[in-house]
């Protein structure tokens, strides 16, 4: 809970890796890495974050440490970043760890689980709670090290072709929805049919009617991906992604080859990218939302009974998953205690300030 | 509004400084700087941020760029950091720019003004709005360059010896309150008597009864400074500090002596410290608030008529200050438009998610 802890977790076991053999690559003076991303080039906040991270590492090393980002599909598909890094096909990758819950649901804590942490709480748990320590312990089995390297902020609930009047309207809907949320939404009482698709595949599926609904991030990205052209109702909040984090996954061998200086530089560039990504979304989303509504999008809050059913279904799922999976339980117990403490405090200074400021803002955005 | 812009503002006019003479200090291979801070050593989040920043710069440079932080009073008093950096007494300083509104109220935008930006909105304005560009343009007259290097998150409203039932109870109260807020609170309808004191001087003044109320940051720091021992009522929110930013102020000459690599390293360490400071407060505040309440503190929201009077007084003050001060007006016009846009958007995804999570959190903190 102090500076040393942050550095230790940021530096990811410097003590352990410092005892390894001399870093052969670093000593040659020039390092060239490839970074495979889960994002298409068109998303200048997510893929732009990869470019920002690489540029900053280059700036800090006078061009001696070069990382080249590749978009989804250039080396491997969007949802195979972990596999490519674990196998050593590339040195690192930028992705949302919850894409890999098929391997183990524990991955989700490094991004978001439904009714989870907001952007501030996520980094607080990762760096001053036990988040990063627990996740890197878990990542060891996959031969990777994770650096905190992005966050979108709270997302929107996505685009629906039909208006949702109550929880009954969720039943049977085919929806593109990432991570753990699909499991929640397919439970009794909700019974939606979740689909996991990478960004480039969502629009065609929605256009053809293969799916009835889709969520991605928020106004700025969603406008770029064109979802408003094929679905009219835009729901909030994305209760399954209150502050989803992105990781730079680094292959263990590549990480251990770095000098202590380059490890510090790579992790500082990653932390900066966490801040950069959220700030860019926050700056761009307001105008994008206005454009979407001017173009016909109808902004709607999820009905209360959907929120209540999803909250109950999420808690039930976490209990069941904890009973079956000891790794998940270990992280969940730590995480849920931290989350509850955060929300008890956030309602006072932060929550009441934000609510006041939102209540006095003039010319509110009309909901369409 | 893109990666290049962030880097340009983070790198603070790299183009201009790259044309200067070769950096003599950098070429010698070893740099030793002194950083004077506005904080006592006891505040391990604010002064700890200075130590974190210095440690990270050292880590990234293999110890070749060393910055030694000094607490308030060791070189100059808490509120003279700007002067010491501008005069070249020290190479850099860590402070809240709004301490210098006596020189020009425009300084306040680099920290906070009443009813301003929250932590997320502040960095979005600084880096993807025009904030950093405008502030560094303004800073030029003081011979300094600012790097974004900390944020406390929304603060508490401070400690009062007597309960506030309505706006009439503010009249004549002597309160330690930083920055612009004192001017708002002394206006007609509020008529509080503001005092500007550095951290080490607040407790003795409150204990002796020289002042009736004091605000500092939030539970974690306020507990360390012991205010709960000499005042019973703890108010929220700190509407004058919704997301106050701290700057690393660097003397222009020292800044220009750095190589491009060291400029990038120093600004990355500063951005990381922005994230670090907020995350540390967010992780520590919940338990501190519980301890304060268990010890007898009574948590209270500001009465509605105080919020309404302060909101009106703030807007009046900004209009008047804009009419008199062209530098202030230039920044205020840009800033206020950005703020209003942010709040119109934040109410949807972010606001509704946070409100839901706060509403379902169990075992709420009792208000005492």
Same domain, B45 and B166: no
CA distance readout (Å), A156 to A120, A153, A302: 17, 10, 10
Tell me whether residues B280 and A6 touch, CB distance under 8 A.
yes
Nearest to B121 among A282, A307, A348 (CB): A282
The pLDDT of residue A362: 63
Residue B184 located in a structural domain: yes
Pairwise CA distance, residues B194 & B70, whole Å? 28
In a domain, B340, yes or no: no
Helix axes B326-346, B119-127, angle to 10 degrees: 120
**CATH code for the domain in which residue B198 is found:** 3.40.190.10
Number of domains in chain A: 2
Q: Do B283 and A44 touch (CB under 8 A)?
A: no
In a domain, B12, yes or no: no
Mean pLDDT to the nearest integer, A306-310: 97
* Residue B276, token pair as written in the block: 């670090």
The pLDDT of residue B24 is: 38
DSSP B236: E
**What is the nearest CA distance from A290 to chain B, expressed in angstroms?**
9
The answer to whether B2 contacts A48, with C-beta atoms less than 8 Å apart, is yes
Clarify whether residues A273 and A326 are in a common domain: no
User: By the CB < 8 Å criterion, does A63 face chain B?
Assistant: no
Q: Are residues A89 and A233 in the same domain?
A: no
Same domain assignment for residues B322 and B275: no
Nearest residue to B234 (alpha-carbon basis) of B162, B181, B175, B176: B162
Indicate whether B318 and B196 sit together in one domain: yes
* Record: contact B1-A283, CB cut-off 8 A: yes
Q: What is the pLDDT of residues A200-248, one digit of tens each?
A: 889 999 999 999 999 999 999 999 999 999 999 999 999 999 999 999 9
> Are A319 and A197 part of one and the same domain?
yes
Binary contact (A279, B345; C-beta < 8 A): no
Is residue A167's pLDDT more than 90?
yes
Task: Look at residue B21 and tell me if it is in a domain.
Answer: no
Residue A352 to residue B118, Cβ atoms within 8 A = no
Residue in chain B closest to A149 (alpha carbons) equals B272
For residues A34 and A145, membership in a common domain is answered with yes
Would residue B347 count as lying in a domain?
no
Q: What is the interface pTM, i.e. ipTM, of the complex? A: 0.92
| Residue B300: strand, helix, or coil | strand
| pLDDT for A13 | 36
What pLDDT, on the 0 to 100 scale, is given for residue A1? 36
Same domain membership, residue A169 and residue A148:
no
Q: Is A29 on the interface with B (CB under 8 A)?
A: no
The pLDDT tens digits for B282-303 are 999 999 999 999 999 999 999 9
Q: Which of A212, A213, A218, A211 is nearest to A238 (CA)?
A: A218
Domain that holds residue B313: 158-241+294-335
Q: How far is B131 from B122, CA to CA, in rounded Å?
A: 8
State the CB neighbour count (10 A cutoff) for residue B71: 20
Burial class (CB in 10 A: 0-12, 13-18, 19+), B312: middle
Q: Residue B366: inside a domain, yes or no?
A: no
Instruction: Decide if B323 is inside a domain.
Output: yes
Task: For residue A20, tell me if it sits in a domain.
Answer: no
pLDDT of residue B362: 63
Helix axes B304-324, B326-346, angle to 10 degrees: 140
Q: Is B212 helix (H, G, I), strand (E, B) or coil?
A: coil
Q: What is the dihedral of CA A130, A135, A140, A141, to 10 degrees?
A: 130
What are the structure tokens assigned to A337, written together? 């205690």
The answer to whether residue A300 neighbours chain B at the CB level (below 8 Å) is: no
Query: How many residues are there in chain A?
Result: 368
| pLDDT of amino acid B198 | 80
Q: What is the pLDDT of residue A7?
A: 44
**What digits encode the pLDDT tens for the residues B131-183?**
999 999 999 999 999 999 999 999 999 999 999 999 999 999 999 997 789 99
- Residues in chain B within 8 Å Cβ distance of A234: none
Q: How many Å from the N-terminal Cα to the C-terminal Cα in chain A?
A: 46
| B150, two tokens | 């900390």
* SS3 sequence of B20-82: CCCCHHHHCCCEEEEEEECCCCCCCCHHHHHHHHHHHHHHHCCCCEEEEEECCCCCCCHHHHH
Query: Using the 8-state DSSP alphabet, how is residue B184 labeled?
Result: H
Q: Clarify whether residues A211 and A115 are in a common domain.
A: no
**Cβ separation A62–B269 shorter than 8 A:** no
Q: Which residues of A touch B286 (CB under 8 A)?
A: 341-342, 344-345
B215 and B160 Cβ atoms separated by less than 8 Å: no
A360: how many CB neighbours lie within 10 A of its CB? 14
CATH number of the domain within which A148 lies: 3.40.190.170
A97-128 pLDDT, tens digit per residue, is 999 999 999 999 999 999 999 999 999 999 99
Q: Give, in degrees to the nearest 5, the angle at Cα B94 between A152 and B64.
A: 90
- Among B178, B217, B218, B207, residue whose Cα is nearest residue B194: B178
pTM, entire model: 0.92
Enumerate residues 102 to 161 of chain B having a beta carbon within 8 A of any beta carbon in chain A. Answer: 115, 118-121, 123-129, 153-156
A164 and A144 part of one domain: no
Cβ distance B349 to A237 less than 8 Å, yes or no, reads: yes
Listed as ranges, residues in chain B with pLDDT below 70 are 1-28, 362-364
Indicate whether B268 and B219 sit together in one domain. Answer: no
> Are both A133 and A73 inside the same structural domain?
yes
């Amino acid at each position: 809970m102090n500076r040393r802890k942050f550095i230790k977790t940021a530096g990811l076991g410097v003590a352990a890796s410092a005892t390894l053999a001399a870093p052969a690559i670093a000593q040659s003076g020039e390092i060239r890495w490839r970074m495979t991303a889960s994002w298409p080039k068109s998303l200048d906040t997510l893929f732009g974050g990869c470019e920002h991270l690489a540029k900053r590492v280059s700036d800090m090393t006078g061009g001696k440490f070069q990382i080249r980002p590749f978009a989804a599909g250039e080396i491997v598909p969007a949802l195979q970043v972990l596999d490519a890094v674990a196998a050593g096909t590339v040195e690192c990758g930028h992705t949302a760890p919850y894409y890999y819950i098929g391997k183990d649901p524990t991955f989700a804590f490094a991004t978001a689980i439904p009714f989870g942490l907001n952007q501030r709480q996520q980094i607080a748990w990762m760096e001053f709670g036990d988040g990063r320590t627990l996740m890197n312990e878990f990542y060891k089995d996959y031969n990777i090290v994770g650096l905190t390297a992005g966050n979108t902020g709270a997302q929107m609930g996505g685009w629906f072709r039909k208006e949702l009047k109550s929880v009954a309207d969720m039943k049977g809907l085919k929806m593109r929805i990432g991570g753990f949320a699909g499991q929640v939404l397919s439970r009794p009482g909700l019974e939606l049919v979740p689909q996991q698709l990478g960004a480039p595949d969502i629009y065609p599926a929605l256009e053809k009617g293969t799916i009835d609904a889709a969520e991605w991030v928020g106004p700025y990205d969603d406008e770029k991906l064109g979802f408003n052209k094929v679905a009219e109702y835009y729901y909030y909040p994305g209760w399954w992604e209150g502050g989803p984090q992105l990781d730079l996954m680094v292959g263990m061998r590549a990480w251990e080859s770095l000098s202590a200086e380059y490890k510090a530089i790579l992790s500082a560039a990653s932390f900066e990218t966490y801040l950069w990504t959220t700030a860019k979304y926050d700056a761009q989303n307001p105008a994008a939302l206005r454009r979407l509504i001017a173009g016909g999008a109808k902004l709607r809050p999820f009905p209360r009974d959907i929120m209540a059913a999803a909250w109950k279904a999420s808690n039930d799922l976490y209990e069941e998953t904890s009973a079956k999976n000891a790794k998940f339980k270990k992280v969940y117990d730590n995480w849920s205690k931290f989350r509850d403490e955060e929300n008890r405090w956030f309602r006072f200074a932060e929550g009441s300030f934000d609510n006041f400021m939102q209540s006095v803002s003039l010319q509110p955005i009309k909901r369409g």
